[in-house]
Amino acid sequence: MCSVASGDMDVPSAGCLAIDKGEVLLVRITAGTYGPPGGSVDSDESGQCAAERETWEETGLKVNAGDLAAEFDNGFRLYWCGVVSGREIKISRPIEIRHADWYAPETFKYLKWRYANQAEIIQTLMSERQE
């Protein structure tokens, strides 16, 4: 399933920053907070492969992970991901993921984010990517 033959190894956790039509893919976990899809990296996979797998597991969307978008203090790596299966979301882990959807940056202020400053970081990354 992974489109990355080799990639960042020894990554603790990874996720996708998938943008389509000016909106970013976000999931709401059971704690009620929002963030990009992602999770733990298995011992035999790269960060990019984990980002692709976690996005598929959490949203039902197939993506291709590309370049590193950001690395956070806790080691989480966020990769730019292109969606290859369309925008229709299918949540297969309703115990872990309560909701997933596409969000425009102007809606970020209304969301409860998983980490402080996450909205600003994602908005900045989106702006830089468009330039």
Amino acid, res. 89: I
pLDDT tens for residues 74-105? 889 999 999 999 999 999 877 889 899 999 99
Tokens of 2: 């992974």
Distance in angstroms (rounded) separating the CA atoms of residues 62 and 85 = 5
47-54 mean pLDDT: 94
Residues 6+ apart with CB under 8 A from 113: 33, 34, 35, 119
The pLDDT value given to residue 4:
58
Q: Which of 23, 127, 16 is nearest to 68 (CA)?
A: 16
C-alpha dist (Å) from residue 108 to 10, 24, 72:
31, 10, 19
pTM of the predicted structure, to 2 decimals: 0.90
